[in-house]
């Protein structure tokens, strides 16, 4: 993903207008304090367009937008497997931008022999976890602003206790509210070919 920085309230309002939600500032006050508890879930506000470059992932990779029961797996086992996969992909894939590799700003695809960017690593993690028996609707791709307000993508693992984040920037798997990220949009777990606006955490504050 090409890194872009957003600074100040004017930039934030401009970003939200681009997404088509000029009123979202009122829905997501930045002064709200994180609950910081792992039982927190990312809650959809309303449907939104897929991120740039992500529109073709459902046709390119049927598993990226699939639904299915998967194996019977406890949350403890799911997180244990997710840690292994997250670490292996982060270690094994060389970071390289889409601009350097493909000559375009955004191209959501699996990593090549040269490497991949954050979206490519997210897709690799989702594919690997589904192959290990995890139900695909428990795994949602999300776009965020990182702690420096740069564009980034992560994989969200939904458990009975809350939503956890697999990240290419840090090794630990954390509850979404402990990442410090501003969550912009996420795949709809009920229909992963669709995306929902989130606007929570980071610059938006925590919504119960």
| pLDDT 10s digits, 26-65 | 333 333 233 345 347 999 999 999 998 898 999 999 999 9
Query: What are the CA-CA distances from residue 85 to residues 90, 93, 101, 150, 197 (Å)?
Result: 8, 12, 24, 24, 27
Calpha distance 135→193 (Å, rounded): 15
Calpha distance 97→2 (Å, rounded): 7
Matching CATH number, 8-204, of 3.30.1490, 3.10.590, 3.30.750, 3.10.620: 3.10.620
The token pair that represents 166 in the structure block: 């697999």
Quote the pLDDT of residue 40. 77
| Residues 120 and 154: beta-carbon distance below 8 Å | no
Q: Which helix (H) or strand (E) holds 85?
A: helix 75-92
Domain boundaries in the chain? 8-204
Taking the whole predicted model, whether its pTM rises above 0.95 is answered as: no
| pLDDT 10s digits, 88-113 | 999 999 999 999 999 999 999 999 99
Query: What are the CA-CA distances from residue 116 to residues 15, 93, 156 (Å)?
Result: 26, 7, 19
| pLDDT 10s digits, 198-207 | 999 999 976 5
Q: 93 Cβ partners below 8 Å, 6+ apart?
A: 111, 115, 116, 120, 121, 124
């Amino acid at each position: 993903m090409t890194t872009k920085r957003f600074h100040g309230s004017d930039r934030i309002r401009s970003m939200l207008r681009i997404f088509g939600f000029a009123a979202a500032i009122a829905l997501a006050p930045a002064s709200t304090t994180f609950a910081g508890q792992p039982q927190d879930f990312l809650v959809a506000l309303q449907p939104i367009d897929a991120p740039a470059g992500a529109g073709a992932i459902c046709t390119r990779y049927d598993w990226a937008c699939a639904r299915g029961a998967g194996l019977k797996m406890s949350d403890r086992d799911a997180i244990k497997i997710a840690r292994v996969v997250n670490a292996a992909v982060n270690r094994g894939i060389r970071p390289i931008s889409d601009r350097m590799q493909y000559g375009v700003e955004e191209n959501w695809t699996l990593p090549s022999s040269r490497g991949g960017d954050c979206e490519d690593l997210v897709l690799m993690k989702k594919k690997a976890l589904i192959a290990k028996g995890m139900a695909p609707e428990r795994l949602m791709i999300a776009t965020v602003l990182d702690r420096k307000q740069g564009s980034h993508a992560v994989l969200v693992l939904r458990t009975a206790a809350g939503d956890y984040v697999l990240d290419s920037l840090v090794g630990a798997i954390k509850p979404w509210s402990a990442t410090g990220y501003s969550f912009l949009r996420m795949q709809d777990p009920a229909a992963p070919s669709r995306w929902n606006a989130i606007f929570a955490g980071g610059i938006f504050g925590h919504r119960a």
